[in-house]
Structure formats: C-alpha cells, structure tokens
Amino acid sequence: MNARAGPRHSTRCFRAGTYSGRAQLLGPSNSIRFEPSVTLALARQVIVSAGWGFYWRQSVYHALDGIPGQVVVPSNGVSDRYEGSRPTVQIDWQPTRHLSAHVNYLYVFNGRFEERSDHATPTMSYVSPWLTYRF
C-alpha cells in the first residue's frame, strides 16, 4: 500500500519484500507483523527510510524461526505472544549510475516472549553497510 504525499516523499504502511527490515533476523512463517514506515528523497541521489516494526507470534506454542526455517528462539512454554518492536533507519546513496552505497541500522526492543526465552536479551542492535555495483 503506497500513498503519495508529495513529489519527494511517500509513506508505506506495510513494507514489501524483506521481513524485520533488511537485517532479516527472523523468518515470516509464524509471526504477525505491522511495519509503518516513511521514505524521503533528501536529494536526487539520497533516500532515507525510517520505520518501526511490531511483531507477535501467531501461536503461544510456536518458536521463532530464522529465514531458512530453523528455530532461533524456542517457545519453551512461554505464553507471551508479543515478540517486540524494531525501529530501523536506512540511507541509500547513488553517486553514479552504476554504484550505490547503503547503510541500515536496526535496534531491537525484545518483548516478554524473547526476554523469557532461553536466549534472553532485552535489546540488540544491527548495522549493515553494503555497496552495490550494477553492470
């Protein structure tokens, strides 16, 4: 769902493509997600995207799975569904027709389910810089 809010900015209520931001920390198979975001074109070659995702388990009996389907956080009888929230910011810069640079920052506020699991952590951060060259 895209809504045009002017010539240089748009808002998206649901992100398309990747799950839990570019970090892809978790797979989509057993989670409910809501990821409002906004994308701004600050200059002709610079785009900044920001959003905040909220995640819940579909069932209290489900573990959290990784992208290929392996268990990342086992259920272990924890009855909370709320996984947590993840604010994210991404900057995309395209200095030439062929070269682009990107950096993504994601911060995780874990919910009660993940705080009570075997791999308990209250928060974590993820930074991902990369370059793309298109022939």
pLDDT in 10s for each residue of the chain, 135 residues: 333 333 333 333 433 344 445 555 555 556 788 999 999 999 999 999 999 999 888 888 877 776 677 777 777 777 888 888 999 999 999 999 999 999 999 998 888 877 776 666 777 888 999 999 999
- Using the Cα atoms of residue 19, residue 94, residue 90 and residue 23 in order, give the sign of their dihedral: positive
Q: Which residues pair with 50 in a beta bridge?
A: 38, 89
The encoded tokens of residue 97 equal 């027709």
The encoded tokens of residue 14 equal 């649901």
As for how many domains the chain has, the answer is 1
6 contact partners, CB below 8 Å, separation of at least 6: none
Distance CA 128, CA 122 (A): 21
In this prediction the pTM is 0.68
The encoded tokens of residue 91 equal 């900057």
* DSSP-based three-state secondary structure for 38: strand
Q: Which domain holds residue 99?
A: 2-133
Radius of gyration of the chain (CA): 17
Check if the beta carbon of residue 127 is closer than 8 Å to that of residue 105.
Answer: yes
